[in-house]
């Protein structure tokens, strides 16, 4: 995951430019939801699809969670879901034995040594149903197959709250990547080669990283393969740069690395971590490169 930096006024301006009436309608719907006490699909509708292009553009057509690059305009709209970071209608207990098979070993669902949040069949974060800073865009893999109505939190839920900026006391495990409400994902999750790892060695930051990696199956083979193909291609530019400006490919190599580590690039968090690894320990970077090559060889073999 990477942060897509934007402040609230700038995000609202983009929404106004995309759909001038959207925010007024959203405010009226939020008032009705507040009075009623819950989100009702039949009454409130699903108007967030109208501002999907704002988030697709902001995230450079990447999934907010797995960093895969999806199709863009004019025909890629259906590949992106507008995702409610905090679910609007109900909250199920995470993890779920049949939905999250990657967390099941020998028939046993993984357990954690800390609370993961209350479940509510008929209640979600209703007042955030039309809150722009409760949205991002995500792929079907992450949103439909994995996230659904799950939102693990370590502390008591604030189901009546209407401002995500004031909900830190919930201790949400998942990381919100838009704007600056939350920690920069890069400060919580790093990569050892293609493998995601918590940055912190203990405490809530480590728990957040562990849960987020598990929640979105960020260490699964489909994502590892994509990252491996990128690392394989970055190893030689990094070597050229390490030889200094006299190397004939120095400038081109720098340009390649700048593109690969931009938030717009797929799996850029992994590319940035690989760049840091190379700077700190070239022998370790070479091991990661070899691992990436071996992984692709095995999958392609
Ligand atoms: Zn995804």
Q: What is the 63 CA–ligand 1 centroid distance (Å)?
A: 5
Asked if the structure places residue 210 within a domain, the reply is no
Q: What is the 37 CA–ligand 1 centroid distance (Å)?
A: 31
* Residue stretches of the chain with pLDDT short of 70: none
Same domain? 32 vs 168: yes
Output the six-digit token pair for 301.
Answer: 């073999």
Q: What is the 267 CA–ligand 1 centroid distance (Å)?
A: 11
Same domain? 163 vs 257: no
Q: What is the 67 CA–ligand 1 centroid distance (Å)?
A: 6
Contact criterion met (CB below 8 Å) for 265 and 226? no
Q: What is the 53 CA–ligand 1 centroid distance (Å)?
A: 17
* Distance separating the N- and C-terminal Cα atoms of the chain: 29
Strand spans (E) along 62-126: 81-84, 104-105, 108-109
Q: What is the 34 CA–ligand 1 centroid distance (Å)?
A: 31
Asked if the structure places residue 95 within a domain, the reply is yes
pLDDT digits (tens, 9 = 90+) for 272-287: 999 999 999 999 999 9
Output the six-digit token pair for 262.
Answer: 């931009």
DSSP letter, residue 178: B
Q: Give the count of beta carbons closer than 10 Å to the beta carbon of residue 32.
A: 13
Q: CA 28 to CA 32: how far, in whole Å?
A: 6
Q: What is the 215 CA–ligand 1 centroid distance (Å)?
A: 11
Domain end position, chosen among 182, 204, 232: 182
Asked if the structure places residue 111 within a domain, the reply is yes
Asked if the structure places residue 279 within a domain, the reply is yes
Q: What is the 146 CA–ligand 1 centroid distance (Å)?
A: 9
**Mean pLDDT estimate for the chain:** 97
3-state secondary structure (DSSP) of residue 74: coil
Given this model, what pLDDT does residue 26 score? Answer: 97
Same domain? 246 vs 174: no
Same domain? 170 vs 47: yes
Q: What is the 282 CA–ligand 1 centroid distance (Å)?
A: 30
Given this model, what pLDDT does residue 214 score? Answer: 98
Q: What is the 64 CA–ligand 1 centroid distance (Å)?
A: 7
Q: What is the 298 CA–ligand 1 centroid distance (Å)?
A: 24
Q: What is the 250 CA–ligand 1 centroid distance (Å)?
A: 34
Contact criterion met (CB below 8 Å) for 142 and 174? no
Asked if the structure places residue 200 within a domain, the reply is no
Q: What is the 28 CA–ligand 1 centroid distance (Å)?
A: 31
Same domain? 169 vs 236: no
Q: Which residues contact 270 (CB under 8 A, 6 or more apart)?
A: 67, 191, 194, 196, 227, 230, 231
Residues shown for the chain: 301
Q: What is the 218 CA–ligand 1 centroid distance (Å)?
A: 9
Same domain? 140 vs 78: yes
Same domain? 178 vs 236: no
Given this model, what pLDDT does residue 301 score? Answer: 86
Asked if the structure places residue 245 within a domain, the reply is yes
Give residue 89's domain range. 8-182
Q: What is the 121 CA–ligand 1 centroid distance (Å)?
A: 26
Domain end position, chosen among 126, 159, 182: 182
Same domain? 45 vs 172: yes
Q: CA 155 to CA 165: how far, in whole Å?
A: 16
Domain count, the chain: 2
Q: CA 66 to CA 213: how far, in whole Å?
A: 10
Which residue(s) pair with 217 in the sheet?
none
Domain end position, chosen among 128, 160, 182: 182
Same domain? 104 vs 155: yes
Same domain? 170 vs 112: yes
Same domain? 177 vs 225: no
Q: What is the 9 CA–ligand 1 centroid distance (Å)?
A: 27
Q: What is the 80 CA–ligand 1 centroid distance (Å)?
A: 9
Asked if the structure places residue 71 within a domain, the reply is yes
Given this model, what pLDDT does residue 152 score? Answer: 98
Q: What is the 223 CA–ligand 1 centroid distance (Å)?
A: 9
Q: What is the 73 CA–ligand 1 centroid distance (Å)?
A: 18
Q: What is the 139 CA–ligand 1 centroid distance (Å)?
A: 4
Same domain? 229 vs 280: yes
Asked if the structure places residue 196 within a domain, the reply is no
Given this model, what pLDDT does residue 85 score? Answer: 98
């Amino acid at each position: 995951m990477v942060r897509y930096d934007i402040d609230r006024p700038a995000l609202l301006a983009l929404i106004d430019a995309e759909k001038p009436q959207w925010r007024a309608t959203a405010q009226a719907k939020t008032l009705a939801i507040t009075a009623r006490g819950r989100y009702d699909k039949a009454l409130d509708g699903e108007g967030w699809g109208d501002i999907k292009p704002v988030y697709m553009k902001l995230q450079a057509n990447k999934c907010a969670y797995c960093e895969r690059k999806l199709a863009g305009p004019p025909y890629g709209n259906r590949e992106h879901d507008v995702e409610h970071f905090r679910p609007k209608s109900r909250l199920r207990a995470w993890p779920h034995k049949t939905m999250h098979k990657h967390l099941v070993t020998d028939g046993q669902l993984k357990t954690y040594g800390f609370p993961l949040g209350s479940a509510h069949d008929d209640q979600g974060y209703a007042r955030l149903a039309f809150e722009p800073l409760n949205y991002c865009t995500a792929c079907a893999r992450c949103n439909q197959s994995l996230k659904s109505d799950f939102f693990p939190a370590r502390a008591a839920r604030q189901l009546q709250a209407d401002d995500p900026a004031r909900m830190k006391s919930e201790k949400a495990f998942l990381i919100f990547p838009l704007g600056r409400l939350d920690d920069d994902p890069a400060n919580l999750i790093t990569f050892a080669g293609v493998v995601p790892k918590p940055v912190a060695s203990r405490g809530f930051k480590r728990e957040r990283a562990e849960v987020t990696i598990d929640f979105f199956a960020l260490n699964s083979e489909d994502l590892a393969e994509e990252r491996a193909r990128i690392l394989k291609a970055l190893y030689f530019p990094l070597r050229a740069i390490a030889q200094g400006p006299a190397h004939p490919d120095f400038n081109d190599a720098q340009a390649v690395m700048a593109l690969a580590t931009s938030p717009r690039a797929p799996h850029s968090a992994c590319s940035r971590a690989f760049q840091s690894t190379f700077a700190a320990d070239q022998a370790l970077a070479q091991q990661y490169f070899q691992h990436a090559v071996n992984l692709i060889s095995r999958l392609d073999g």
